[in-house]
Amino acid sequence: MNPAPEKPPAPPHLVEMADEAGSMIPRMLTQTTLWLVFMAALLFLGAGTLAWPQGWAYLAETAFFSLLLGFWLARADPALLASRLSMPTLRLGPQLWDRAFVALFFSAFLAWLPLMAIDAGRTHWSAPVPLPLQLLGAALIAVCMALVWRIFRVNTFASPQIHIQTERNHHVIAEGPYAFIRHPMYAAALLYFAGVPLLLGSWWGLAMLPLGALAFALRALGEEALLRKELPGYTSYTKRVRYRFFPGVW
């Protein structure tokens, strides 16, 4: 068995955060806890009640996978964890269009959660989602997180920002999920946007799925234009791996 390839050196601003593993975990725990509390406020204020089992199930699943991935990254790739914990708006590259994308998409996500809560927990605009489909929603979220873990295993450059990490010897990743599709992170996210509304019990929430697919498609096209221009070997990679999100589809 061939030994695993060494990770590229981390840039100075990430090395500072990754030098002491003990300081990474408290930071991850703090940010994860604050994010969970914020999501809980959005969900339960929208639902108008704490007696909403689907909301608690979603938060529990989110907490479990967030902490699991966070602890694993702290051990396996602290530089990537530092990158994932950084605020996207603070370290975006010169792509102003990507700044706009991140701002708009994050705003849409923050509106999506309470709207689903209002629908499923308070107004019941849409018909009830059967329990088997709620369980399917939880399973889709789990599959999404498993794919994200697999992506993190092979791609230490999986930063939330679109930029070429020249200081880390950024190169084309063609292993794991990237051997089949060019943007597995976006494909995994689409499973998430299908799973969350089903788990929470909001048919209206599924409207985010086609909107998210369109948004990710546009971002993927912009990202590929940058990678073709600035990342050696990426054009050749796109000729070998034809599809962006789903094999045989697009």
Q: Which residues are CB-neighbours of 107 under 8 A, at least 6 positions away?
A: none
Two structure tokens written together for 46 = 């929208």
The answer to whether residue 2 sits within a structural domain is no
**92 falls in which pLDDT band (50, 70, 90)?**
very low
11 falls in which pLDDT band (50, 70, 90)? low
E strand segments, the chain: none
- Contact call for residues 46 and 121 (beta carbons, < 8 A): yes
Domain count, the chain: 1
Inside any domain, residue 159: yes
Instruction: Give domain status of residue 123, yes or no.
Output: yes
Domain limits at 121? 12-240
In a domain, 153, yes or no: yes
pLDDT grade for 54, boundaries at 50, 70 and 90: very high
Pick 25 or 8 by higher pLDDT: 25
Would you say the pTM of this structure is higher than 0.95?
no
**Residue 222 counted as domain residue:** yes
pLDDT higher than threshold 80 for residue 106:
yes
Residue 111 lies in a domain: yes
Report the CATH number that the domain containing residue 98 is assigned in CATH: 1.20.120.1630
Residue 217: exposure state from Cβ atoms within 10 A (0-12, 13-18, ≥19): middle
Question: Per-residue pLDDT averaged across 85-111, rounded?
Answer: 75
- Is 6 within the bounds of a domain? no
